[in-house]
Amino acid sequence: MKLRADLVQLYRDVHSWVGIVAGLFLFVAFYAGAVTMFEEPLQSWASAPIALPPPVSLEQTPALLEKALAAYPEARDDYTIAVTPEDAQRGRLTWDGSGGQVHHGPTQSMAAGLDAQGNLVVVPKTPSEAAHFVDVLHQQVGLPLPHTPAMVLMGAVALLYAVALVSGVIAYLPALVKTLFAVRLGQSVRKRWLDVHNLLGLFSLPFHLVMAISSVVFAFHGQIFAVEHMLFPGSAAGQHGGMHGGGRGGEHGGHGGGPGHGHGPAQAASGAADTAPAPAPAPQRVLAPTEILALMARQAPGFVPEVLNYMQLGHGKDVVRVFGHDARYPTRGPTGGFVVLNSHTGAVQSGEYMPGHQPAKFAVLTTFFALHFGSFGGTPVRWGYVVLGLGGAFLFYTGNQLWIVSRRRRERESGLVVETRGTKLLAALTSGCTTGCVAGISAVFCAVPLLPYGGSYGAVSAVYYSVFCVFVAAAFCLPGQRGIRLLLAAAGVVTACVPLMLCLHGAHLLRTPEGLGVAVMAALLSVFLFASAAKHTREI
């Protein structure tokens, strides 16, 4: 069916203006999102090493735990035991004394070990927040605001993003069929930007649709669950009793009931029948890590535990959250899922987040989360998401450049000799924000070896936004092609320093595929920025 010319023009106008409004925010989100695919190796590299003896074996962990809890009884409420050797090197036993509260970023914790004589050794452990900052930057589309208002604005940007995708497909898809691979490099800059923009947009369309829809859900999940509770009261808690009840409500906006579904009424009846206060129950034995691992091996053979988080909730409801992954299934989180067990009996309290063992409702949600995080298919998929993320950032850059060169052409055709204020403003913002984002993130990781403990959130935030603001200011002070060349070259210099800092301060990271990939990606990106600076012209 052929659309009328006026409708096509309407959709093109909607696509252009909506894309212009959201484009710079989305550039930051996609570029930072590509970097977060390396969040774990970057976090490990950026965090300062801790002076602990070699980790004890899992069989010896109960002895370590007994000595640590005797010296630090407050750790009993919430402590973590690392299962994998890589995590154990940074502390087999750690705690933060938070009492089970959910944190939204790394915090100082304590790590414990035993020396050769069996004496307890406890040292503070302060992880770098550089990688976490980049993740927040991605989530909040670059806005330095408190989390809640930033997420609301992010949701609005995601809605505009979805509108731009739909209007762009309607407006340009019929013409793309004829000129799909016709990238007219030898013609005008406007046609060059148009062809590259259309090619990138069409082939990554499914990826962008998933990103747009899932981002809206992430931004407004609290409101969505509130409406669900209002329309279907009791459905969330009532349908997942027993094994699937009692999930971590805070994990998904209050969705789900508290611990102990399925046996709460019996406890209430028992309490009403007793007229005299019951004596305090004797402390129950907590299952050892090796027992937990044996239990998981029997009940979920493909699940690979990585971390055991013991939480003391009282009243016989103490739990251990077993974090890990299963390569056969997608996961709800970026790197894995978890199951909640009773730490005394090993009974499953919640399996809503365990890969391959979820009810249908949560399995569908997990699939959607996995499509956003790329937490399926292993390393090839993660590298694919890196490429798609960088390609998405370039898509938004080309969209803005296309609007700018088209606007300049129309202004010249109308007889204007000097560019309008709106064209100058968008041109400066496009060059300043994009190069500032690239240089700012590179500067964060260049500064990591020089900052105490690899950088607190405030320190790395100050580094990023200082560099970002300098680039934006330079874009306004140095307009025209000379300014763009300088900005691209400066961003290339800062980005080229990332692999240099990795070589000087992170040789161990370069021996891993992920670390080597970070260095190679930064080197290639710096070459691309230098080449763009050398070849940037002002043909219209």
Split at pLDDT 50, 70, 90, the class of 2 is: low
Shortest CA distance to 343 belongs to which of 427, 259, 443, 442? Answer: 259
Structure letter (DSSP) for residue 256: S
Specify which of 62-71, 328-337, 420-429 reaches the highest per-range mean pLDDT.
Answer: 62-71
Residue that is written with structure tokens 């003391």 in the block: 312
pLDDT digits (tens, 9 = 90+) for 243-281: 333 333 333 333 333 333 333 333 333 333 344 444 445
Note the pLDDT of residue 306.
94
How far apart CA 135 and CA 29 sit, in angstroms, is 9
Q: Where are the domains of the chain?
A: 5-43+132-216+389-535, 49-125
Note the pLDDT of residue 100.
45
pTM: 0.82
Note the pLDDT of residue 102.
45
Tokens of 409: 């052409």
Alpha-carbon torsion, ordered 211, 515, 44, 62, to 10 deg = 100
**132 near 193, Cβ under 8 Å?**
no
Burial, 529: exposed, middle or buried (Cβ in 10 Å; 0-12, 13-18, 19+)?
buried
pLDDT digits (tens, 9 = 90+) for 95-124: 985 444 444 445 678 999 999 899 999 998
Note the pLDDT of residue 228.
67
Burial, 445: exposed, middle or buried (Cβ in 10 Å; 0-12, 13-18, 19+)?
buried
**338 near 357, Cβ under 8 Å?**
no
Residue that is written with structure tokens 């109960």 in the block: 62
Q: Which residue has the higher pLDDT, 315 or 526?
A: 526
Note the pLDDT of residue 537.
54
Helix, strand, coil percentages for the chain (3-state, nearest 5): 60, 10, 30
Q: Concatenated DSSP letters for 149-206? A: HHHHHHHHHHHHHHHHHHHHHHHHHHHHTTSTT---TTS-HHHHHHHHHHHHHHHTHH
How far apart CA 190 and CA 214 sit, in angstroms, is 32
How far apart CA 139 and CA 162 sit, in angstroms, is 17
Q: Concatenated DSSP letters for 38-57? A: THHHHHHHHSPP---PPPPP
pLDDT digits (tens, 9 = 90+) for 111-169: 999 998 999 999 988 889 999 999 999 999 999 999 889 999 999 999 999 888 888 88
How far apart CA 529 and CA 488 sit, in angstroms, is 6
**120 near 67, Cβ under 8 Å?**
yes
